[in-house]
Amino acid sequence: MDSEWVIDAQGLEKSYGSGASRFDALKGVSVQIAPGETVAIVGKSGSGKSTLMHLLALLDKPDRGTLQVAGKDAKALSKRAVNELRNKEFGFVFQQFFLTPNVSVLDNVILPLKIAGMGGRERRRRGMQVLEQLELVDKAGNKATTLSGGQKQRVVIGRALVNAPRVIFADEPTGNLDTATGAVVEDILFELNRSQDITLVIVTHDEELAARCDRQIYIRDGLVVPQTAATHTGAHAMTTAGGPA
């Protein structure tokens, strides 16, 4: 059963603060994501969807619940192993890009490879390959700050893609883009899913983007809820709502 899911989370709970200011961001969420799937995590701001993504991406630790990533129990992994897992298996796309200013597009793209300790020549080769794929080769030497929003998000996707990850986590990937540019970026992400079989986990409140995914997980007040009034449903809902497993 383990290997069937790239991510298998059971009864995740997470709260911030303590006493009167205690805030329960997640109150027992179970999520399973299969390899090659595209999953949208949908919810309003404050619903806990970002917290859920952080837990699934091993950026944070749950207070309670179990989480298995690629068949490995996250709790049993050392800090070093978690870092390596994030570096090699995950890619991240953020709404606000988080590109390093005053550094070239190529250098931004190859940052994960640099962190992984890959040699300079190989880094460059793979970086250029990704830029070619995203039609940004002519911008390779430009500073990241000189690009348009759509180009920036393509660079961010390039950065998420350069280490050939198994899963890409995208947090509101089109939130900062106009409709037309947003659509282009969406197309690129879904194309990657199709051609390279990369699992996509997209956090969004954009129903249209959510609808393009295989499956939607609706989060409200820290719990998974059956899909809301919003109409188009995914093919199959494998989500479960409930207390700790």
| Residue numbers at the binding site for other proteins (CB under 8 A) | 45-46, 50, 54, 57, 59-60, 79-80, 83-88, 92, 94-96, 98, 100, 102-103, 111-112, 114-117, 120
Q: Please work out, in degrees rounded to the nearest 5, the angle formed at the alpha carbon of residue 58 by the alpha carbons of 52 and 64.
A: 60
Which is closer to other proteins, CB of 31 or CB of 53?
A: 53
- Long-range own/partner contacts, residues 59-64 (CB < 8 A, 24 or more apart): 59/86, 60/14, 62/9, 62/12, 62/13, 62/14, 62/26, 63/13, 63/14, 63/15, 64/11, 64/12, 64/13, 64/28, 64/244
Which is closer to other proteins, CB of 203 or CB of 234?
A: 203
**Cβ 85 to other proteins, closest distance in Å?**
8
Which is closer to other proteins, CB of 165 or CB of 234?
A: 165
Which is closer to other proteins, CB of 156 or CB of 223?
A: 156
- Could you tell me the end-to-end alpha-carbon distance of the chain, in angstroms, rounded to an integer? 16
**Cβ 124 to other proteins, closest distance in Å?**
13
For residues 234 and 143, give the distance between their C-alpha atoms in angstroms, rounded to a whole number: 40
Which is closer to other proteins, CB of 167 or CB of 212?
A: 167
For residue 68, what is the DSSP state?
E
**Cβ 226 to other proteins, closest distance in Å?**
25
**Cβ 214 to other proteins, closest distance in Å?**
25
The residue type at 105: V
**Cβ 16 to other proteins, closest distance in Å?**
10
For residue 99, what is the DSSP state?
P
